[in-house]
Amino acid sequence: MAIQINKEKNEICILLNKDFYNIEEIKSTLKDFKEVCKGEVKEKKENQIKIILKPNENSVINSLGHEFCNYSLGLMKNHSVV
Amino acid sequence: MDKNIKINEDENCILISVNPEIYPLDVIYSAAYVFLEKAYLLLEGDPKKEIIIKLTAKERINKEELKKIGKEFLNELISYGFYKKQSEKNNLIRQIILQRVLLTGAGENNDDCNSLMEETEEEDYLDDPKGIAIPWEEKYGDKKNGNSDK
Amino acid sequence: MNDKSKQNHLINNYRHKKFGNEFLVTTDHGSWIFLSEKEFEKLKKDLIEKDSEFCKKLEETGIIITTKNIKTILRKLEKRNDFLYQGTSLHIVIPTLRCNQKCIYCHASSKSLNEKKGEMDEETAKKVIDFIFQSPSEYIAIEFQGGEPLLNFKIVSYMIHYAKKLNKKYKKNLIFRIVSNFSILDEEKLNFLIKENVGICTSLDGPNYLHNKNRPFANKKESHHLVEKGIQKLNKKYKKNNIKHQRANALITITKYSLQYPKEIIDEYVGLGLKDIHLRFLNNLGDARQIWDEISYSCEEFMDFWKKSIDYILEMNKKGVFFRERGCLIILQKILTETDPNFVDIRSPCGAAIEQLSYTPEGDIFSCDEARMVGEDLFKLGNVKKDTYRKIISSNQTCSLVASSINDCQICDYCVYKPYCGICPVCNFVEQGSIIAKTLETPRCKIYKAQFTYLFEKLKNLENKKIFQDWINKTK
């Protein structure tokens, strides 16, 4: 599972494939999401990027991981045809 | 086509398998961008062999609607794949137009644009550098076995 | 067998479409010809004998390239792209978003009269004019829109005076236009606008039952009688002051309610002394989005309305009443002349930034007025308070927008109407969520294709062709 939610710890763990997501864009996303959550980014072995998010409000915990991934993917637009 | 699409009704998502030799990554990014508002997307797989796009609908929808999203995504891939090919084919035209726009907008006496100006205008069309005006017969000679390829 | 020794030409790059028993063939430099099936086969296989009538016909139109016509072809190609050398000439200024009307489809999403925010102040107005004069274009058209621009008349008059003052130094060909609902066009404002030579345009959706349905006042009162009165008053003033180069103009917005009244709409325009009408497909912008299902229509429904309107207008012209449809005029100018009429909506690249810019009351700069109505950051190029013209034009954003409307890079490259047509990145974004769209699926493509086909068919008739030529001649 790319997105794992731990409601008890109020934490979201995201694993993204480095072949498709750029660590710089992910750091940029974290900056843009700073009003919504705190987080850290770690490069793992096996070509993965690990992101831990701690939402400021518990109400967004279900959707935050998805929104974060979408935003990061949106920033990859610079690598797209258009 | 349907074997490229796997529907998971419980998770309200669809998995689309794409061959990166047919649809390169930049085309996939462009297609994915169009869907960011209506679905959550994740990219996985091997960029050389098989790219898997997971589309999770933001609202709860049924199997048919999930399938429809998947097929729409495939259509977007074709649309951007075509756009990429067409852009490559006519890249020079696009470059010339953009250079002209920049030159006009930035002012033709601007030193920064002089190299651009030289690049676009180094060939005088009256000299017919591409040999457009040369008659076919003169250019290609009298080849008895030649085809008139079009 | 094709004897190459009898040829001295190259086949130009052409596109084609079947028209009944004939083929329409067009080239990038805008030339066109109808060929019979037999002739088209000859063209395809390059069985064109030197000095034959067929060869001469193709050489005259530039379908084949010879030493005799290459300079003409290149000159025409250059002329069609002349606008790339000009710089931004049309500047749409929004002095206020407030409006006293509540049109059901308001694309500008205008604000109520009591709204305190969204008024352009003098400082911003000055900076807008300063910015406009940074454009290298020798032609500058400043057009005031809104909301209702006359609600901020103080700023409109300030900007006109300041622009004229600046123009003493820049010496550009400077013109002004204003689009107003005429409801607050009193004597003072009217005299000022006439004195300053401002072109005045209003909105008129047809006879009162149509116009009032689409364009009521915010207090739900009817507005048609004020538009009617305003047009008559304006034309009277021009006549009285012997001003021959100006006349009242009107714009129409076609909703679903309009479709059953093509003749009545045309008659309303003719009755008020208006000389033309522009029948455009409704855009899904602004307030129209909220009631889209109620007021929109299919491409087929629109084309049915449009064809009935054009047929009616043509009949009128045949009976000696001069009246034009502006959309047709624009297309016909592209087909029948060497000069691009500079209607930025159908041009490649479109006018985004390079031909048109739009300025909000806060001084934000958008790539065109439709982009301003959408309001997305994608189309916001900067602000007059901190950005220069050069910076805006050479930005990556502008380049992306321009590049996205170059139809050589789209499926349009295979379309017979490509030399005359263009793409709108804003429409693409609104309909499909991206400035690069699946063009064939867009209503714009379907409608323009249908309109081009209709007009090319009409051009086969000499009487129609004469009328169309007359329309073009009276534009010069």
Domain spans in chain C, listed from the N-terminal domain onward: 4-80, 86-366
| DSSP state letters, C236-250 | HHHHHTT--S---EE
Cβ separation B42–A80 shorter than 8 A = no
Please tell me whether residues B60 and B102 are part of one structural domain.
Answer: no
Cβ of B54 within 8 Å of Cβ of A19? The answer is no
> Are B105 and B78 members of one domain?
no
Is B113 part of any domain? yes
Examine the pLDDT at B135 and tell me if it is beyond 80: no
Cα first-last separation, chain A? 30
More confident residue, B134 or C63: C63
Asked if the C-beta of C439 comes within 8 angstroms of chain A's C-beta atoms, the answer is: no
- Phi, psi angles (nearest 5°) of residue C260: -90, 0
Residue of chain C minimizing CA distance to A80: C436
Q: Do C354 and B104 touch (CB under 8 A)?
A: yes
B141: in domain? no
Pair (B115, B64) in one structural domain: no
Close Cβ partners of A63 (under 8 Å, ≥ 6 residues apart): none
Q: Dump pLDDT digits (tens) for A30-80.
A: 999 999 999 999 877 778 999 999 999 888 888 999 999 999 999 887 777
**B3 or B149, higher pLDDT:** B3
Chain B residues closer than 8 Å to A22 by CB: none
**Chain C 241-280, CB below 8 Å of chain B: which residues?**
none
pLDDT at position B3 is 79
**Nearest residue to A81 (alpha-carbon basis) of B40, B97, B23, B69:** B23
Q: How far apart are CA C282 and CA C259, in angstroms?
A: 12
What's the predicted TM-score (pTM) here? 0.86
Residues contacting A67, CB < 8 A, separation 6+: B40
Cα C472 to Cα C469: distance, rounded to the nearest angstrom:
5
Interface test mutation site (partner C, options B37, B89, B97, max chain C beta carbons within 10 A): B97
Question: Which contacts of C266-269 are long-range, i.e. CB under 8 A and separated by 24 or more positions?
Answer: C266/C309, C266/C312, C266/C313, C266/C316, C266/C323, C267/C207, C268/C204, C268/C206, C268/C207, C269/C204, C269/C323
Q: What is the pLDDT of residue B115?
A: 53
Helix axes C122-132 and C153-170, enclosed angle (nearest 10): 30
B43 with B28, same domain? yes
**Residue B144's pLDDT band (boundaries 50, 70, 90)?**
very low
Top-tier CATH class for C86-366 = alpha beta
Residue C234 pLDDT: 92
Domains of chain A in sequence order: 3-79 (3.30.70)
Q: Tell me, yes or no, whether B104 and B123 share the same domain.
A: yes
pLDDT above 70: percentage of residues in chain B = 69
The whole-angstrom separation of Cα C301 and Cα C281 is 10
Structural domain includes residue B43: yes
Check A20 against B47: CB less than 8 A apart.
yes
Q: Are residues B63 and B102 in the same domain?
A: no
Domain boundary among B89, B104, B119: B89
Number of domains in chain B: 2
Q: Does B148 fall in a domain?
A: no
Token digits for B48? 């050389």
Say if residue B108 is in the same domain as residue B57.
Answer: no
Alpha helices in C65-136 (DSSP H): 70-80, 122-132
Are residues B91 and C414 in contact, defined by beta-carbon separation less than 8 angstroms? no
Each residue's pLDDT tens digit, C148-160: 999 999 999 999 9
Predicted confidence at residue B109, as pLDDT, reads 52
Q: What does the pLDDT read at residue B118?
A: 54
Residue C476's pLDDT is 64
In this structure, is residue B122 part of a structural domain?
A: yes
- Residue ranges making up the domain that contains B61: 2-89
User: Could you tell me if residue B124 is inside a domain?
Assistant: yes
Same domain, residue pair B39 and B99: no
Q: What is the pLDDT of residue B139?
A: 47
Task: Tell me, yes or no, if C436 comes closer than 8 A to chain A by beta carbon.
Answer: yes
Q: pLDDT digits over C220-235, tens only? A: 889 999 999 999 999 9
pLDDT for residue B132 = 44
Tokens of C204: 């008129």
Domain end marker among B89, B109, B140: B89
| Integer Cα distance of B18 and A82 in angstroms | 19
Nearest to A30 by CA among A6, A50, A8, A57: A50
The predicted structure's pLDDT at residue B110: 52
CB B29 to CB A21 under 8 A?
no
Residues B10 and B80 in one domain: yes
CA distance A77 to chain B (A): 6
Residue B26 has pLDDT above 80, yes or no: yes
Are B72 and B111 in the same domain?
A: no
Predicted local distance difference test score (pLDDT) of residue A2: 87
Residue of C nearest to A82 (CA): C436
SS3 (DSSP) at C333: helix
Q: Are residues B40 and B102 in the same domain?
A: no
Instruction: Say if residue B124 is in the same domain as residue B52.
Output: no
Is B9 a member of any domain? yes
Residues of chain C with pLDDT under 50: 1-2, 5
Say what the pLDDT of residue C286 is: 86
Report, as an integer, the average pLDDT of B133-145: 45
Please tell me which chains touch C, using 3 or more CB pairs under 8 Å as the contact test.
A, B
CA atoms within 13 A on the CB side of C368: 19
Does C410 contact chain A (CB < 8 Å)?
Answer: no
Long-range CB contacts for residues C153-158, cutoff 8 Å, separation at least 24 = C153/C189, C155/C95, C155/C96, C155/C119, C155/C120, C155/C121, C155/C122, C155/C125, C156/C95, C157/C192, C158/C122, C158/C125
Please give the residue of chain B at the shortest CA–CA distance from C67: B133
**Can you tell me the mean pLDDT for B95-107?**
87
Q: Which residues of B45-65 are buried (b: 16+ CB within 10 A; e: fewer)?
A: beeeeebbbbbbbeeebeeee
pLDDT score at C91: 98
Could you say which of C87, C406, C434 has the minimum Cβ distance to residue B105?
A: C87
